[in-house]
Structure 1
Amino acid sequence: MTSPPTSSPGEIPLPDGFLTLDQIRNIPNSCLREKKSFVNVIGFVKDFQPPYKTGGTDFKCSIEIMDYSDRGMKVNFFEKTEQNMPPPPGAGDVVLMRGVKPQLYHGVMGLLKNSSSEFRFLASENIPQKVLGESNSPWRSYPVGKGRSPTAAEMKYVLWASNHADVIDLPSNQQFGVKVVQAMKQNTDKFSLLKDIKPDRYYNILGQVVRLYDSSGTLQVYLSDYTPNSRFHNYAWGEAGKNDVGREGDDFGYISTRNKEAKEWPGPYGKMTIQLTLWDSHASFAREEVKVDDWVLLKNVHVKFGKIGGVLEGFMHGDNGKTNVSIMNLTEGTVEDHGRLKEATNRKLQWWKRFTEQKPKYLEEAAGLGNKRKDDGEGSSKSNSKKRREEERAARLKRGAAAEAKKMGRLNLNENIRCNNPDQPIVALSEILKPLALTRNEEGQQTPSSFTCAKYRANVRVVDFFPHKVEDFAVGRRPSEYDILSDYSGGEDTDREEDIRVFKSGRGFAKNIWEWRFVLQVEDASSKESKERLWLMVDNHAAQGLLNLEDDATNLRRDPRLLSLVREQLFKLWGDLEELNSERLRQQSERGKELPPSSLGSEFPPSSPPRKAGEMPDADSDVENEPSQPKSAKKSSNSAVLTEQDLNISKSGIVAGSADKSTPSLEVKNKAFTCCIHQYGVKVDEDDPSKANAGDGKRWQRVFGLFGTHIV
């Protein structure tokens, strides 16, 4: 590690081995994970949180310190008894720390006292005017009697810093005292076991995910910490989950679990599980990262009675872009959280141990009770009614499965592809492409809507894809502090600016965030007469479900293992399509076709403004290849096209049918399959004010996307 700079130019430097708070914040994550990553710090007390009892077995207090950095930093102390805590400091007191542990928790850097840490406190009113000997220095040690005394160099820096403390944002003694009193009146730690929660309050809770269910823009998380609460729903052994949420995963099949018994509640049984409803950033994080059986910590959960009277539920609405959901493990988080996780895991072990031991007894009691009711003739009507419903449901499922199998046999559908919502009808692409009539003008002519939010099932086969190299099916982008803004899209210029800003901060270059992103052109396979085609966007979420791989997106050009797995999965989807496309491109190359230049606008006609990289023309456009075709290009009405810039091939080859007539036709040989399609709208730039129907300089564009489809 490089030697620390001076606190300000021309002033006394920090003693050897000490760091500023800003330097601590810039320590790489790889160094933070090292067990022996300790730091030495000198700072002034800005705030103090008195000791309080945590939800576990420890007491906690914290001291916020300041130096000449922009922001302060908290030092956390955990002890078994309150008597072992450090003495209460005052505003502006000097703290000299050796061997404290830097810790990044929920994105905030802090310091943690450990068994090897040494602290020296010097009250602000006792700071001497000149360097004195140890016998005349009124330092207080913590732990008592432990540690080395400040050296002459350290004392010299302390004296200089105290004489210039007026430039540091420190509170007055009165302000400091008021904040300490307020902290003593309230327990800032909202953590609670589920057995202790009460309605109309906010809590931090830690538990294991039992079920996940995605619905209508929210995410339901069923959580248990293996403590009972009489106001929870009673999940009986062998029954389905509440409100029939016992089914696995979500409507679209993106969230799947290891438990394949889709209906039975997996346990724990009884009143030990709470239903939590998540919105916004909390739901987004949980959808992408959280799986069944994960231990998670959720902060600021609003507990109140749900729609079912007398049953407590939890709710987490948006919180200014913050994500109050974190996955727990013993390598991250605080010592306090580690203790809570271990206690909860032990409760789970003991609960399942007791359940396994008592399970035979439960079975015997259930069998005896059933025989008694049968002998007494009680409940026979109810039992028969339930049995009839089960038989009718089984018959419907059997008829549906038979019809689906018959249809698959007739169309020779691909058995390696699975699609959600099998009870929904198959819709032809010609119907999907028909715009919905919105209004009528004075002449009685219908005005079509720009797009319709709708979902369909269709039988299709893949006839083309983009980008034309599978290596480019994952794209990288720079992370940005503005990613939380819904209308922020960034770009190449902002990426370069972000690179420079991050590099100047001393953190090197920013790493890419990789996501799946590609499009598939599909052809209607359910009709012999119509062969309509459309392009389907496959975003990161849909691609993760489609490819059905455990790996997340990454740079496929540098990960041959993942690239091979992706190719294997896609071969099941489109057969020899990739080989045929490669052959077509080879034939074009042999015929002297040149790759396009990297300029995005060089091949566009003067009447067509250049499009931005990755921008899509209207899905309703009649022009086969809108950016590169002149005005006289022949139009076709039977293809909805999504065109993008591809520097790997000629632009004229992006859309099937637009390639050179002299290129031999290569017939695709792959099986059709059933997929789920959703239609939606996106805002795109529009220079023509008469077409700007989505605001100033914007118009709505219809887009089709793939969802709920999986390669097995």
Structure 2
Amino acid sequence: MEPPKGFMTVEKALSANAKSTIVLTDPSIKDNEYGIKLSFFSKMEFQVSDISSSDLIVLRSVRVQMNSNNISLITTKSPMSEIHILKSASIPRDASFRKPLQWKSTSPSSKSSYLLPSSNEISYAVWAFSKAEEMYLPTDQEFQEKTVQAMNVKDKFTLLSDVSAGETNQYAKYYDLVGQVIKIFETSHGFVELQFSDYTPNSHFYDHTYEENTSNDENHDSYGYGNKSSDEAEDRSWKGPFGKFTITITAFAENASQARSMEAGQWCLLKNVRICTGDAGTLEGKIHSDRGRVLIQALDTNTEPSLVDPRLKEALRRKKDHWKTFNKRQTQKSQHVQTTKQNTSTSKKIRQEAEQKATVGLNENVRCSYPDEPIIGIREILQPEKIMVQSSGKTLWAPFTNRKYRANVRVVDYFPHRIEDFAIARRVTEYEALSDHSSGEDSDDNNTRGQGNHGRFASKVVWEWRFALQVEDAQAKNGEDRVWLLVNNSQAQGLLGLDDDASNLRLNPQLVQNLRNQLFHLWGDLEERIAAGLPREDDDIPPSTDESFLSATSQTRRAGDQPDADDSDNELDTTTNTPLSAQSGAATGQTSTDPVTAHISTNEGKSDVAPRNKPFTCCIQQYGIQLSEKDPSKANAGNGKRWQRIFGIHGTTIPA
């Protein structure tokens, strides 16, 4: 670093709120009677009283700044500033002086180390001191008088919460304030109004309410058709702080010019603000001309923390706490409103469902789970959904979605058309105990081929419920809004509520009768009306328990083909034997088609029998299964497979 300019002599001293200012001069500015100001903080290891007129001061690493168009200096912690003071009586009269000098050295940090002034710096100081008579230096008496006067300056800093108006102009009250400019308005008389806050409340301020601001936003003329422009209306809208936290301060003359150069959001120090009571009965502030002095000083928050005015730090903390409290209160209000809306919505939904139930005459013999879920129309349920393909970013129609609904429906058809066929047989092999075995990878015949009787003994025949119901929306007209619902074994058990499991119904007339009685509660006389239109079954045809039936059945229906619709997390893809919830698309896997699935996948026709049974509330689940597909353009599931959307019944019960 080059040797600094010689800094000579203290001209005057000023101390206020942990910061002191002294004025320095040297031969380079000898014609400038005002000198250059140096500001430092009380953390320095000396006080203003330690300095006298004509003392020598050497500075290192001080910051140069502009304040009110004047250059000034200020000490910093980064880099660490150094101040070295040598009393005027100890200054050598020539550069050949070799005795150690009694420097009083300090820095903003007591732990910092520093070097005493070098011989070059001392030589320059000796030369500068020899020019003292050419500079404007006060006498010792003048200096002491100014020092005492500066030390006795009354601290007028006050929080806005503590300001008040004088009883008369003769007893007016003046304050120094530190806060934030919220808004700036130019008046027709050339004055400037500042909306100013230090985030402390005063009961005599205007009350800016949040509700008032919301109302103004709602009444705002977005298209600018009113008397005010959209920009002006936006400028007039109040964004906070809300409550009695803000005062209007009017700046005049040179202070108005300084105010115009500021922006909303600027933090500043306002000096000598006169507080009075306005026409509306609220407190207001005035900054009048004071012998040409600018009484509005911008404060910088983007600087080293140690240099930030402590009063500004406290105001920043108050602002942070203010908005934290305000946002918490608004969140609580919003949650309360949302809860009220939800309760109102729930009550409305319950009322609407009760009205709908009364209107359509719902069947009370059927119960549906998830009573809090809304009723969805069949037409809406049938609407496909769009998905975003991450790899390409394209939006495509999803072949299916995993969804559950509640709907008011009535049964208009069923399949198979003979309830004796509502159960099917299949073989269970010993290989299904293997975790890596997929029941769809080979047929039962392939599993047992070449194994002799060992294959026969290793498998057994089981019977499972499997049928489908075609339902239409309770509000539908002219046979519209219909969908087929698959009922697999587990869902049939829950729906029917029978004590007996599925079996060969052609050999179990009692179970058929129990089944018919339960279904009567669901669909009334629908079976009798459909059965009347069916061809008479040949009594000589044996029950479907022969080997040909089992072989055909095992080819088209295998263990795991149709999952439990309630347990979507445990659905298995029969091509991978893994839970489909862990796969892309999370769907039910099926690689072959049983007669029931084939029927509901292709039969979209309408029943010829007009429904007369009561509608009921039903839980419906949508999912997807994999079917073999020879056309590559349709094989959207890959490997010669395509996805087929299926709707199934779940969570619905006919109480016994």
Q: TM-score, normalised by structure 2?
A: 0.42
Q: TM-score, normalised by structure 1?
A: 0.39
Structure with larger Rg = 2
